[in-house]
Amino acid sequence: MGKLIFLGDSVTAGAWDEQGGWANRICSKVMALTAKAYHDKQNSFYCFPYNLGVSGNTVQDLIDRLDDELPRRFDLENVKEEREFLISIGINDVAPDMSLNKSKVVEEQEFEEKIRTLISKAQQISTHLAFTGILPVDEDLVAPLPWDETMVFTNERVQTFENIIENVCAQLGVPFLSFYKPWIKRDDYKHLLFDGLHPNTKGHEILAEQIFQFILDHDFIKRHS
């Protein structure tokens, strides 16, 4: 019995897609493949997907959640169980808190250390691990956020933090899918954002296609068959 776990923030959770977001779209695809395999006796594919995206989560939040949340969904003593994680995190670490009374600025070195810790902890549970990058933002709408003017998102920080994730993944042999690089090249990327930060329905549709192809390219079907 294989498991596919999506870990991340509000974008992973599905904000603001009328069809539930890219992760839930992929969950539906995986469920359809599993249901088809069940009725096709010659097909042994089986995978149960979970979307564990939580709005507002940072890398540290995921580190804290690993010990409590994930063992409840796995049989850790079953060495034959495929436990696949796809982690999409980082945008909530990007934005500095510009208020005078407190600071939540995550420095680059701290972010890298936390990504390394997250990978190390995830690899203790998972049998296969992959990461995505971070979407570019529309700075005209989110620097600062209209609903929280202490928070400022810039594409310079997004690119820097995605590069950190990519470099750590390359060093540790973890598959990585960039979001920032292909999206920032699109003339229409701002039109794929609902509020300058989260994808709209079309944006989630594109992400679902990109990410599903990414996991297929990394032997997803073979691992769960």
Contact present, 47 and 89 (Cβ < 8 Å): no
* Average pLDDT score, the chain: 93
Q: What angle do CA 4, 30, 171 make, to 5 degrees?
A: 40
State yes or no: pLDDT of 81 exceeds 90: no
Domain ranges, residue 216: 2-224
Provide the number of structural domains found in the chain: 1
Q: What is the CATH number of the domain that holds 155?
A: 3.40.50.1110
Phi-psi sector, 189: left (phi>0), alpha (psi -120 to 50), beta: alpha
Burial (Cβ within 10 Å: 0-12, 13-18, ≥19) of residue 91: buried
C-alpha distance across the termini of the chain, in Å: 9
What integer pLDDT is reported at residue 40 of this predicted model? Answer: 84
Backbone angles phi, psi at 102, to 5 degrees: -150, 165
pTM for this entry: 0.94
Alpha-carbon span 51 to 39, nearest angstrom: 25
pLDDT band at 89 (very low <50, low <70, confident <90, very high): very high
pLDDT in tens, 57-73: 999 999 999 988 888 88
pLDDT in tens, 147-197: 888 889 999 999 999 999 999 999 999 999 999 999 999 999 999 999 999
Q: Extract the tokens encoding 12.
A: 């992973």
